[in-house]
Amino acid sequence: MSTRSFPESFLWGTATAAYQIEGAVQEDGRGPSIWDTFSHTPGKTFAGQTGDIACDHYHRWPEDIELLRQLGAPAYRFSIAWPRIFPEGRGEVNERGLDFYDRLVDALLEAGIVPFVTLYHWDLPQALQDQGGWAERATVEAFVTYAETVVRRLGDRVRYWITHNEPWVVAYLGHYLGEHAPGIRDLATAVRVSHHLLVSHGLATRAIRALSPHAQVGIALNLSPVVPASDSDSDRAAAQAYDGILNRWFLDPLFGRGYPRDTRQLLARFFEPPESDCDTIAEPLDFLGVNYYTPAFVTAAPEGSPQGIGLRLLSPEELRARGYELTDMGWAIVPDGLEQLLVRLQREYRPPAIVITENGAAFPDEPVDGRVQDDQRIAYLAAHVAAVHRALEAGVPVGGYFVWSLLDNFEWAHGYSKRFGIVYVDYTTLARVPKASFDWYRTVIANRALPDG
């Protein structure tokens, strides 16, 4: 009997997102999204790759549900493509788009799998971007209408809703660093966008509850412990500033404290969010979704650095020089960071429940004789699940853990060059090959425990 067992109610799962797996971008009335535009713009993604076909999940979903059934995980997290539901972002509903998710939800339930539905995983309808996108308050209203439309259709069967995935990434990679769609590079826009995302979260949460009183609503934040690169005052101040931008800017208003004062001051010359919106943002959460991959290692840097506010993140070379093992993304592998993060969240915010909505790693997997022996991923996942277990023992209310990702998929600007899946996808044939980590995870789920050792 393992000493690291998990409660029977613990929700094990895997996660995916619409644009990363679906393909079929022109099918059944789907409109274009900002990721179609961005990925088709030369120079934006690895080798010009796009999500046009991706894993072809739009056609192969029965096969993917069969994989989920074999895995035995009680839950599955996926996202809905807004442009399938509203091809123009608002206005006329595309019933065929809703039908797709309706069938998917029914099939999941038939397989005994609990759906966790993310409403916004980055594929804004291009028509809304043409009107200013998330920088415009009108997009908030369009999002709420979209959320209501989806909940009206699926809310009788879907209980768990995630409004947004990683609003920091949407704001900063999409609107400040320009590495994600829509490719804007303007800090003021990024801060404004972060505020609109949070307001839309609060309003959508209210709307979901009004339509579906049994709903459990959360948001998935990308959170990391922030580690100063040295003990110097300047590095420690930079780490404090970055913690404000990455973590507290989102957590504080969600948990009813308003925006953190230090970060507000730091960003005031770019955008000052109206305090009057803070009550809306603070609509109580049923659970906090945590996406964790790696800590952020921060050093002070002159004004005009990539982060624009006197700091920068350490590069993969610098991390390697410090002895960290890295994933294929160049991210340091630090499982203790997850435990620290969870303990901090519990101590400082007391969320009613936490769900690890994403955790996983990219490694350069290749099949050998039809088998993908991804031992590095197994080690990564085992160490992070162990960290979750330690947090549970310390009293953190973690209710679930979702591996990112079920399938190798379109890793945004990296295209198909980074493989996060526990199932290998051959992009020539679109064949799925469960990796060794799939078998490992299946055993953990079946035993509700990590093997000893």
Residue 189 binds to ligand IFM (criterion: CB under 6 A): no
Nearest CB to ligand IFM, comparing residues 77 and 196: 77
Nearest CB to ligand IFM, comparing residues 280 and 417: 417
Integer CA distances (angstroms), 370 to 138, 428, 434, 435, in order = 50, 15, 10, 10
Beta bridge partners of 432: 425
Residue 17 binds to ligand IFM (criterion: CB under 6 A): yes
Nearest CB to ligand IFM, comparing residues 7 and 364: 364
In 3-state terms, the chain is what percent helix, strand and coil (to 5)?
Answer: 45, 15, 40
Three-point CA angle 72, 52, 50, nearest 5°: 100
Residue count at the site for ligand IFM (CB under 6 A)?
Answer: 8
Closest approach, Cβ 165 to ligand IFM, in A, equals: 6
Three-point CA angle 431, 47, 44, nearest 5°: 120
DSSP secondary structure code for residue 135 in this structure:
G
Residue 200 binds to ligand IFM (criterion: CB under 6 A): no
Residue 36 binds to ligand IFM (criterion: CB under 6 A): no
Q: CA 92, CA 89: separation in Å to the nearest integer?
A: 9
Residues 165, 168, 171, 177, Cα dihedral to 10°: -120
Residue 38 binds to ligand IFM (criterion: CB under 6 A): no
Residue 250 binds to ligand IFM (criterion: CB under 6 A): no
Residue 246 binds to ligand IFM (criterion: CB under 6 A): no
Nearest CB to ligand IFM, comparing residues 83 and 228: 83
Closest approach, Cβ 357 to ligand IFM, in A, equals: 9
Residue 408 binds to ligand IFM (criterion: CB under 6 A): no
Integer CA distances (angstroms), 100 to 49, 143, 391, in order = 25, 20, 38
Residue 126 binds to ligand IFM (criterion: CB under 6 A): no
Beta bridge partners of 75: 13, 114
Q: CA 404, CA 362: separation in Å to the nearest integer?
A: 9
Q: CA 379, CA 317: separation in Å to the nearest integer?
A: 22
Residue 404 binds to ligand IFM (criterion: CB under 6 A): yes
Nearest CB to ligand IFM, comparing residues 179 and 186: 179
Active centre residues (catalytic): 166, 358
**Residues 79-108 interacting with ligand IFM (rule: CB under 6 A):** none
Residue 291 binds to ligand IFM (criterion: CB under 6 A): yes
Nearest CB to ligand IFM, comparing residues 228 and 415: 415
Closest approach, Cβ 265 to ligand IFM, in A, equals: 29
Nearest CB to ligand IFM, comparing residues 61 and 168: 168
Using only C-alpha atoms, the chain has a radius of gyration, in whole angstroms, of 21
Q: CA 167, CA 223: separation in Å to the nearest integer?
A: 11
What does 103-116 look like in DSSP terms, one character per residue?
Answer: HHHHHHHHTT-EEE
Closest approach, Cβ 127 to ligand IFM, in A, equals: 23
Residue 35 binds to ligand IFM (criterion: CB under 6 A): no
Closest approach, Cβ 20 to ligand IFM, in A, equals: 6
Closest approach, Cβ 411 to ligand IFM, in A, equals: 5
Check: CB of residue 51 under 8 Å from CB of residue 35. yes
DSSP secondary structure code for residue 27 in this structure:
G
Residue whose CB is nearest to ligand IFM in the complex, by number: 17
**Residues 350-389 interacting with ligand IFM (rule: CB under 6 A):** 358
Residue 166 binds to ligand IFM (criterion: CB under 6 A): yes
Residues in contact with ligand IFM by the rule CB under 6 A? 17, 20, 166, 291, 358, 404, 411, 420
